Amino acid sequence: MICPPGEPGPGELLVREEVEPGPYGYTPRERPIDVYLQYGAINLDKPSGPTSHEVTKWVRALLGFPGRVGHCGTLVA
């Protein structure tokens, strides 16, 4: 069930033209690791206590690369 009901999901892809991809870019799962990390997301089970901001800082430090790390999906009761 798509929830909330009535909320339009992406639905089927309506194809106008069949086109083959060229030799550029990468299928997301096949990106070389350095590129993969640039376009990555983590579904993190945040412990209660530390703030999202603190956890973001830890993840950035853990990954140890100068990439940008942010967060979204704030749980406001």
By the criterion CB under 8 A, which residues form the site for other proteins?
Answer: 1, 3-17, 19-22, 24-29, 31, 33, 36-45, 47, 55, 58-59, 62-64, 73, 75-77
Q: How far is the CB of 37 from other proteins (least distance, A)?
A: 7
Q: How far is the CB of 61 from other proteins (least distance, A)?
A: 10
CB 55 within 8 A of CB 70: no
CB 31 within 8 A of CB 20: no
Q: How far is the CB of 66 from other proteins (least distance, A)?
A: 15
The overall longest dimension of the chain from CA atoms, in Å, is 51
Tokens of 72: 């979204």
